[in-house]
Structure 1
Amino acid sequence: MNKLLKIFICLFVIFSLPLCAQTEEEVGLQSIPDSVPSVIDSLYREDQFYVGLTFNLISNKPDAISQSGFSGGLHAGFTRDFPLNKRRNIAIAVGLGWSLNSYSQNLFIGEDEAGESIFRELTNDIDYSTNRFSTQLIEAPLEFRWRTSTAETYKFWRIYTGLRFGYIYHFKSNFVQPGNQVVQTEVPELDRFRMGATFTFGFNTFNFHLYYSLNSLFPDAQLNGETIDVSVFRAGLMFYIL
């Protein structure tokens, strides 16, 4: 009888051990959280990559000059965001970007036999299909930034204002008429160094962007005895990433 009791006790202990182990394992699994807790970056930065689309206007132009067709621009770049306060919603930003712009208008740009630049109005009696000039620039934006952002929100209001410095590394004027094409890339009267004021405001993805040039494109050029003191105004949308 004692022998049977001992055997029964041994079997009970042997079969009970896996049950206890399983219970402990279940308790351990229940203590593991279902998801990894999110980490809030208290040192966050905002809007460090940008892409923009603009409609380009020529301002301060002589009465003889007018725009026709579509004139647009494509802009992209990187800015380094430097927050100024603890909440990090006030900041300055400096960066580097690229800009492509085209302007359709009736100002013919060419050169004479001596290599001197020619600026001439294209009147209605001249038959032509295309007259535009385009620019490609390397730009350096400098911005003062205010926004309603926090470390947890990705949708916020923003107001950015500042200056944008640039250099035109490629210029092309293209005139096309039946049986004739004039392409001009070297224009001594062109001021390749650019400076403009910028203003951007919006919410989340869509932001309105304004740019106004502070110096003339052709400060040394003349048309009919009048200085071609034209500037550039751009208006469009700016999209920010990260």
Structure 2
Amino acid sequence: MSSKNVYSEIPFNQNTMRFFFSCLFLISFFNVFSQEEKPEVKPEVKIDSLYREDQFYFSVGYNLMAQTPEGFSQDKFSAGISAGFLRDMPVNKKRTHSIAAGLGLTYQNFFQNLTISKGPDEVLIYGVNDYNEFVSNKYRQYLVDLPIEFRWRNSTYESHKFWRIYAGFKFSYVIASKSVLDDGETTYTVKNSKDINAFQYGATIAAGYNTWNVYFYYGLNPLFNDVKTVSGEDVKMRTMSVGLIFYIL
């Protein structure tokens, strides 16, 4: 019995070749497509729109006196430094208006010609003297502050660089004060005088952009309680300060 060639019975024509290569191409195409990397889906980060401008503040200013007695003047640079923290409480949906309250400390130094000396029985004597009548005269005080601000700004939760106008009041309590007069013969030192108004308050305003802001304070009550100079003039001086204030988140 003669053996037959099996392959000779399979029709291997041109159509069979086309079908074979078409299948191979489709398999390769789907294989490449299936290996294509899918784009990475990152989770959406939601920014908190309920932001606050809770801030530390630091101010440096030049101290002045208002409603001064006749002949009063200041000498040298009278510096003032304040620092503290304010809690921001927005009052509108856009959070561009708010009220802020906080706590701080202030140091004030005054070089001026209102002198405080001592007479018999340690009685304090107030006088306005020419600068050639004494060697040096200065007054300084340390205060605990309670600032309250009514705030406007055009800030957003995406940026902390914005314009601002903050107006309000500052209530202060004098925790220590000291006056030192050197008249060339005697040095008079008066600490924590009862004539100093321990409770002081005034109006404030700060305006500017981002970190840099100008600052102004005007005292609404006198520095001294019922004090007269040797000439009989009432001393109703009020403290003032003008300078820069820096707000830091």
2:202 is aligned, of 196, 212, 231, to: 196
User: Contact 1:219/1:227 (CA < 8 Å) preserved in 2?
Assistant: no
Aligned to 1:62: 69
User: Contact 1:47/1:240 (CA < 8 Å) preserved in 2?
Assistant: no
Q: 1:199-223 deviations in whole A, cap 9, x for unaligned?
A: 1110111101110000000131101
User: Contact 1:89/1:146 (CA < 8 Å) preserved in 2?
Assistant: yes
Aligned length: 216
User: Contact 1:83/1:90 (CA < 8 Å) preserved in 2?
Assistant: yes
Aligned to 2:163: 157
Task: Provide the C-alpha distance between the structure 2 equivalents of 1:204 and 1:146, rounded to a whole number of angstroms.
Answer: 13
Aligned to 1:143: 149
Task: Provide the C-alpha distance between the structure 2 equivalents of 1:178 and 1:63, rounded to a whole number of angstroms.
Answer: 24
Aligned to 2:28: none
Task: Provide the C-alpha distance between the structure 2 equivalents of 1:124 and 1:198, rounded to a whole number of angstroms.
Answer: 32
User: Contact 2:103/2:146 (CA < 8 Å) preserved in 1?
Assistant: yes
2:47 is aligned, of 40, 47, 54, to: 40
Task: Provide the C-alpha distance between the structure 2 equivalents of 1:43 and 1:141, rounded to a whole number of angstroms.
Answer: 23
1:155–1:125 Cα change, 3 Å: closer
**Structure 1 stretches lacking a partner, 5+ long:** 1-19
Aligned to 1:105: 112
Matched, 1:225 2:238: no
- Structure number with bigger Rg: 2
Task: Provide the C-alpha distance between the structure 2 equivalents of 1:46 and 1:218, rounded to a whole number of angstroms.
Answer: 36
1:77-116 equivalence runs, <5 A = 77-116=84-123
Matched, 1:31 2:40: yes
Q: CA deviation at 1:38?
A: 5.3
Normalised to the residue count of structure 1, the TM-score between the two structures is: 0.83
Q: CA deviation at 1:123?
A: 2.0
Task: Provide the C-alpha distance between the structure 2 equivalents of 1:37 and 1:67, rounded to a whole number of angstroms.
Answer: 61
Identity %: 39
Q: 1:64-96 deviations in whole A, cap 9, x for unaligned?
A: 211111111000001110000111110001110
**Structure 2 stretches lacking a partner, 5+ long:** 1-30
